[in-house]
């Protein structure tokens, strides 16, 4: 007997199979996330600090202003989150809360100039990673809108003295706009120190067969954005429709926002500088592994460098073991302006002081190494009016330590962000206390 029951077509079966695979992949991600939550040890959440309610004076400490002299036995006075006086003979207003920090050192908060803080949590759980957007051209991406204030990495970095992180999107040719973020707060809007710090451009790989065509795609994107700007500004023309991608590029063409170009090889760097000069753009070089080979070119075009991953092995067999360690000192000796950032991973942001410390161990003067993670990134990224040094009028964002922050043994005892005293019991410290108690119990 012939079975005349209609069978599903191959296309329908294929679609059903793809749909099933998509559902299974989603369920797998949810299952992994659930397991992470179930197996995660109990850790108390850190509470964001309340706004400063009255004047506070730190008295008796050694104040390292970075931008000026070191003040022994000094007083740092701040009110409403802003430094109002600094020196050895400071008159305190009525109602000032006085904290004795005799024997301690006070430094400006450290700045991580290249980070995925707040947009990267657990690499194995895709839903906690929000670094890349779809498509190659996304200049309208404002990374602070995706910033997760509940990230555990924030407290750990803060306890290491990193009080400002420049959160940076990734992916494509034009990734979007980075933002300088405070490392304490309830939500992204109050944690944003400055939006639109830089427009991130990922320069194509010089080893790719598509290198030339990729550069042409980049040129085309900027040409379209310029044409849009011209049409928007033309008088006597009908209203031009808003295109959020090209609208976001206008501050770049006006010189209000730099392009931060991620490039490593000599050819990439030289081509990127030529392109930025042709486009009349203000450029910052990010990563710059070979930047020490083109220092005259960088100086001539007044292009600063944000160095990433000092604590790293060389990328090529013929390079010496200390190629990355000595890069900051080579740029310093050549007179190139630079800052030091760590690897972009938010989980390693607490290593930023050690990145600068490694540079100091391989030829960079200690004062310059400290400046490379405080004042220099602030100047390069245009936030020196808020952070990077200890001066009257700047934010009261600083750390109290028992030594130089870039030294491995130094302990950061307390941090203040905009005058607010932050909770220092991050996840690492809670685990330390927990297992220290286990050790003490075993000795009883």
Helix ranges restricted to H, 40-92 = none
Residue 305 belongs to what H/E stretch?
A: strand 305-308
Residue 343 is predicted with a pLDDT of 83
The pLDDT of residue 395 is above 70: yes
Helices and strands: H and E segment counts in the chain: 13, 16
Whether the CB-CB separation of 437 and 429 falls below 8 Å is answered with no
Q: pLDDT band at 11, cuts 50/70/90?
A: very low
**Token representation of residue 160:** 């290491």
For the chain, the domains span 44-108+388-444, 110-384
**Token representation of residue 98:** 């006085």
Which tens digits make up the pLDDT trace of 136-188? 999 999 999 999 999 999 999 999 999 999 999 999 999 999 999 999 999 99
Proportion of the chain in helix, strand, coil states, percent, rounded to 5: 35, 25, 40
Q: Which residues of 402-435 are buried (b: 16+ CB within 10 A; e: fewer)?
A: eebbbeeebebebbbbbbbebbebbbeebeeeee
Q: pLDDT band at 233, cuts 50/70/90?
A: confident
DSSP annotation string for 67-78? SS-EEEEEEEEE
Query: Domain spanning 110-384 has what CATH number?
Result: 3.20.20.140
Cβ neighbourhood burial of 366 (10 Å; 0-12, 13-18, 19+) = middle
Q: Over the chain, what is the mean pLDDT?
A: 91
DSSP three-state, residue 164? strand
Which tens digits make up the pLDDT trace of 121-132? 998 998 899 999
- Rounded Cα gap, residues 76 and 332, in angstroms: 31
Q: pLDDT band at 40, cuts 50/70/90?
A: low
- 44-108+388-444 shares its CATH topology with 110-384: no
**Token representation of residue 311:** 């604590």
Residue 410 is predicted with a pLDDT of 97
Which tens digits make up the pLDDT trace of 180-232? 999 999 999 999 999 999 999 999 999 999 999 999 999 999 999 999 999 98
Residue 12 is predicted with a pLDDT of 44
**Token representation of residue 191:** 């944690």
CB proximity list for 213: less than 8 A, separation 6 or greater: none
DSSP three-state, residue 398? strand
Residue 344 is predicted with a pLDDT of 86
- Rounded Cα gap, residues 161 and 410, in angstroms: 11
- Long-range contacts, 25-31 (Cβ 8 Å, 24+): 29/125, 29/126, 29/127
- Rounded Cα gap, residues 31 and 27, in angstroms: 6
CATH superfamily, with its number, for domain 44-108+388-444: Urease, subunit C, domain 1 (2.30.40.10)
Residue 113 is predicted with a pLDDT of 98
- Rounded Cα gap, residues 397 and 195, in angstroms: 18
Where does 206-297 show beta strands of DSSP type E? Answer: 259-263, 283-287
Helices 266-279 and 211-233, interaxial angle, to 10°? 20
Give the global pTM: 0.88
The pLDDT of residue 384 is above 50: yes
DSSP annotation string for 358-391? HHHHTT--HHHHHHTTTHHHHHHHT-TTTSSS--
The pLDDT of residue 4 is above 90: no
DSSP three-state, residue 10? helix
CB proximity list for 65: less than 8 A, separation 6 or greater: 71, 86, 108, 389, 390, 391
Residue 315 is predicted with a pLDDT of 86
Q: pLDDT band at 20, cuts 50/70/90?
A: low
Residue 1 is predicted with a pLDDT of 45
The pLDDT of residue 36 is above 90: no
């Amino acid at each position: 007997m012939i079975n005349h029951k209609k069978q599903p077509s191959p296309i329908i079966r294929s679609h059903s199979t793809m749909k099933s695979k998509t559902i299974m992949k989603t369920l797998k991600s949810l299952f992994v996330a659930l397991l992470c939550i179930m197996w995660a040890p109990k850790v108390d959440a850190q509470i964001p600090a309340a706004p400063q309610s009255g004047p506070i004076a730190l008295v008796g400490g050694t104040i390292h202003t970075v931008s000026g002299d070191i003040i022994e036995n000094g007083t740092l006075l701040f009110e409403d989150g802003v430094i109002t006086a600094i020196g050895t003979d400071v008159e305190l207003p009525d109602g000032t809360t006085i904290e004795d920090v005799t024997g301690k050192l006070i430094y400006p908060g450290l700045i991580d100039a290249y980070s995925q803080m707040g947009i990267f949590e657990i690499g194995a759980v895709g839903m906690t990673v929000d670094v890349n957007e779809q498509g190659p051209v996304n200049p309208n991406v404002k990374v602070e809108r995706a910033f997760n204030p509940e990230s555990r990495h924030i407290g750990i970095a803060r306890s290491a003295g990193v009080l400002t992180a420049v959160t940076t999107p990734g992916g494509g040719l034009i990734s979007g706009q980075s933002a300088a973020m405070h490392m304490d707060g309830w939500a992204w809007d109050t944690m944003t120190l400055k939006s639109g710090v830089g427009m991130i451009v990922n320069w194509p790989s010089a080893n790719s067969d598509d290198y030339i065509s990729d550069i042409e795609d980049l040129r085309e994107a900027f040409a379209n954005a310029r044409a849009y700007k011209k049409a928007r500004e033309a008088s006597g023309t009908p209203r031009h429709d808003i295109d959020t991608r090209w609208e976001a590029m206008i501050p770049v063409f006006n010189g209000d926002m730099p392009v931060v170009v991620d490039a490593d090889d000599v050819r990439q760097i030289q081509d990127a500088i030529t392109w930025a000069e042709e486009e009349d753009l203000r450029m910052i070089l990010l990563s710059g592994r070979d930047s020490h080979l083109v220092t005259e070119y960088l100086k001539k075009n007044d292009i600063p460098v944000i160095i990433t991953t000092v604590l790293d092995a060389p990328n090529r067999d013929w390079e010496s073991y200390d190629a990355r360690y000595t890069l900051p000192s080579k740029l310093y000796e050549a007179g190139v302006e630079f800052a030091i950032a760590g690897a972009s991973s938010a989980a390693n942001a607490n290593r930023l002081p050690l990145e600068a410390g490694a540079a100091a161990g391989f030829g960079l003067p200690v004062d310059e190494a400290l400046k490379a993670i405080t004042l220099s990134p602030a100047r390069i990224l245009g936030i020196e009016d808020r952070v990077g040094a200890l001066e009257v009028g700047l934010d009261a964002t600083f750390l109290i330590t028992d030594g130089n922050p870039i030294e491995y043994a130094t302990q950061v005892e307390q941090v203040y962000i905009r005058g607010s005293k932050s909770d220092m019991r991050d996840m690492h410290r809670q685990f330390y206390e927990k297992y220290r108690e286990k050790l003490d119990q075993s000795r009883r």
